[in-house]
Amino acid sequence: MEGEGPPAPPGGARRGSGAGPDVLVFLADGAAVPLALEHPAGATAAELQRRLRAALRLPDAAAEALALWLASPLLEVQLKPKHQPFRLCRQWPELLLRFSDASDGAIAHDEPCLQLRRNVFFSKKKELQLEDEELLRLLYEEARGNLLGGRYPCDPEDCEELGALVCRLRLGPFDERRHTASALRPLLGREVPGPRGARGLLGALRRGGRRAPELGLLRAFRAGPGAAAAASGLYRAFLQRCHQLPYYGCAFFPGAIDRPPGGLLSRGGRRAVSVAVGLEGVSIIDPREQHVLLTLAFPELCWELVGAVGPAGAVGPADAVGPEEAMGPPQLWLEFDGEREGAPVNRLLRVVSPQAELMSALIECCIALGGGDGPGPPRAPLRRQDSVTRPRLQRLNTIDYVDDGQELRRVKPPRRAASFFGRQLPHGGGGGAGGHLQPRAGGGPRWSRAEPPPCPPRRGPSI
C-alpha cells in the first residue's frame, strides 16, 4: 500500500491527483482513488473512509453503507473503524497462517489491497432508502461484479431482467435498429450477467431446452425502462432485484463439506463450497455447479465452532467434543430441523474451513445486531422448481437425530467419538446459535432452542 500501491485491476482508472500517493483504495468498478496522508502508518480505517468520502463527494449515509476491506485471493476481511490498515498489512502473513491453508510460497507472495465495498451490517431496507446516485452506483457495480464473477448464483430468467437494466444503463434506451441479438451477444458474461452452471456435456444437456441467452436479454431489454428513467432509479431497481437472492450483501468464506455416500460413481471425499454469512442468515453454495445447497435464517439454526486455534495458539473452549475434532482442521457445525422418510429429525452439517472462526464470529455479531430475533425475514417465493436458490438438501451429508420422547437417538450408527448433544455449553462461551443447545425443563436429554445470549455488537469478523 505504500508508494504506488498495488496495481489497479484491468480496465481500472486512477482518480484524484497528486504525485506519489501513500494509499490507493480500489472501488468496485476498478477505479483506484489515491489518498495522501501525513502519517499513513497510524491512519485508521475510519480516517481513511472519511477522506475517501470527501474525495468522492459521497453523502454521510455512505459511512454506514460502505466499509473498507483488506482483500486478497486468500483472505477477505472487513475492517472495523479502529483498525489500522498498514499495521494489518504487516501482519498479513500471520493472518494467512491462521485463516488459510495456503502453502508458505503462496503466503509469501500474497498481497492484500484496500477496497471500498458494501458493509455486511448494512440492511437491505436502508439500502433502498438511499437517494445519492454515486452511492447507488457503487453498490450497483459491486453487485454486478459479484454476478459476473459467479459469487451470486442467479437463475437465467433473473439474469435477463438484471441484464436488461445493465444494457439500459450502458447502452441507453432501447433502439430496434442498433440493439439486436447479435449486438448484445458479446456483452454476455463480460458486461452483462449471463447464465452460469455446469460446463461440458452435462451442462449442455441441462440447458438444452432453453432459448439462447441473448434472445432472452433482447426481449427483456425491449420491455425494460424507457428514456424517461433516471439512473438512480435504475440502480435502485437493480439492487432491489438482487435483494431476492438470500446471499446478497453477505461475507463469503471458503469451505468444504462431506459428500453424501452414493453408488458406484460416487467420488466421496469433500465438496468445495462457499459459505455466505449476512444479517439474515447463512447459505451454503456450490460454486462449481452454481446453486444453493442450504439456506438458513438465524432463528432456524444452531451452530458450534470446533477445533479453532486462537491467536496465541491455544485451542478454544468450544472444541472440547473429542480429541479427533480438536486435532483436526477448524470446523463449523450447523444444526437445523429437517425430515427423513416423513419423520422430523435434527440435522447436523459439518463445514470444514480454516476461516471457521471468522464465520462463527460474524454469525454471533449478526445475531447480536438483531438477526436472530423473530421468525426471520420473508423469503422470496420460488417460482421455479429448478431455481438455483432452491436448497439441494439431498446433496448434503448430514448426521440426523430423532426425538422419540425420551432421548435423542441417531438415525444411523454414530461415527463421532462424542455426541454433539452430550454436553451443555456454558452461557456465552465458545459457539452460539440462533438458539443455543440447552436442555428442556422436565428432565431427560431433550433439547430445544433458547434465546441468543447477550453479545456486544462487533463491527466485523474478529481478527
Do 297 and 385 lie in a common domain? yes
What whole-number distance in Å separates Cα of residue 463 and Cα of residue 445?
Answer: 36
Residue that is last in its domain, among 213, 242, 271: 242
Assess whether 235 and 256 both reside in one domain.
Answer: no
* pLDDT, average across residues 4-27: 57
Predicted TM-score (pTM) of the model is: 0.80
pLDDT tier, 22 (very low <50, low <70, confident <90, very high otherwise): confident
In a domain, 463, yes or no: no
pLDDT at position 328 is 73
From 257, 174, 183, 267, select the one nearest 222 (Cα to Cα).
174
pLDDT, position 393 = 84
What are the helix (H) ranges across 243-392? 323-327, 356-366
CB atoms within 10 A of CB 294: 24
Instruction: Indicate whether 173 and 287 sit together in one domain.
Output: no
Residue 21's SS3 state is: coil
Average pLDDT (403-423) is 46
Residue 142 and residue 115 in one domain: no
Judge if 279 and 401 occupy the same domain: yes
- Of the candidates 109, 84, 112, 107, the one whose C-alpha atom is nearest the C-alpha of residue 97 is 107
When the pLDDT of each residue in the chain is averaged and rounded to a whole number, the result is 79
> In this structure, are 208 and 284 located in the same domain?
no
Same domain, yes or no: 383 and 329: yes
> Which band of pLDDT confidence, cut at 50, 70 and 90, is reported for residue 372?
low
> Residues 189-247: pLDDT tens digits?
888 887 655 444 444 444 454 568 899 999 999 998 988 999 999 999 999 999 999 99
- pLDDT at residue 455 is higher than 90: no
Of the three residues 242, 268, 296, the one that is the final residue of a domain is 242
Whether residue 237 is found in the same domain as residue 279: no
Q: What is the pLDDT of residues 347-360, one digit of tens each?
A: 999 999 999 999 99
Q: What is the CATH number of the domain that holds 382?
A: 2.30.29.30
Q: Is the pLDDT of residue 383 over 80?
A: no
Domain end position, chosen among 92, 119, 146: 119
Mean pLDDT of 67-79: 97
Confidence class for position 314, pLDDT limits 50, 70, 90: very low
Kindly report the three-state secondary structure assignment for every residue of 100-118.
CCCCHHHHHHCCCEEEEEE
Least reliable range by pLDDT among 32-36, 170-174, 261-265, 338-342: 261-265
Indicate whether 104 and 222 sit together in one domain: no
pLDDT of residue 345: 86
Q: What is the Cα–Cα distance from 405 to 193, expressed in whole angstroms?
A: 51
Joined together, the cell numbers standing for residue 35 give: 489518498
Q: How far apart are CA 267 and CA 97, in angstroms?
A: 30
C-alpha cell at 16: 484524484
Task: Name the DSSP letter for residue 367.
Answer: I
- What pLDDT is stored for residue 324 in this prediction? 54
Q: Percent of the chain having pLDDT more than 70?
A: 70
Range of the domain at 336: 251-449
Please check whether residues 257 and 406 belong to one and the same domain.
yes
| Residue 419 confidence (pLDDT) | 35
In this structure, the strands spanning 281-286 and 437-439 are unpaired
Unique residue bearing C-alpha cell 467434543: 321
Residue 351 and residue 306: Cα distance in Å, rounded? 10
331-340 vs 301-306, strand pairing mode: antiparallel
Give the count of domains, the chain: 3
* Domain-embedded: residue 309: yes
Express each pLDDT in 260-298 by its tens digit: 876 555 566 899 999 999 999 999 999 999 999 999 999
Q: What is the structure's pLDDT at 414?
A: 38
Kindly state whether residue 198 falls inside one of the protein's structural domains. yes
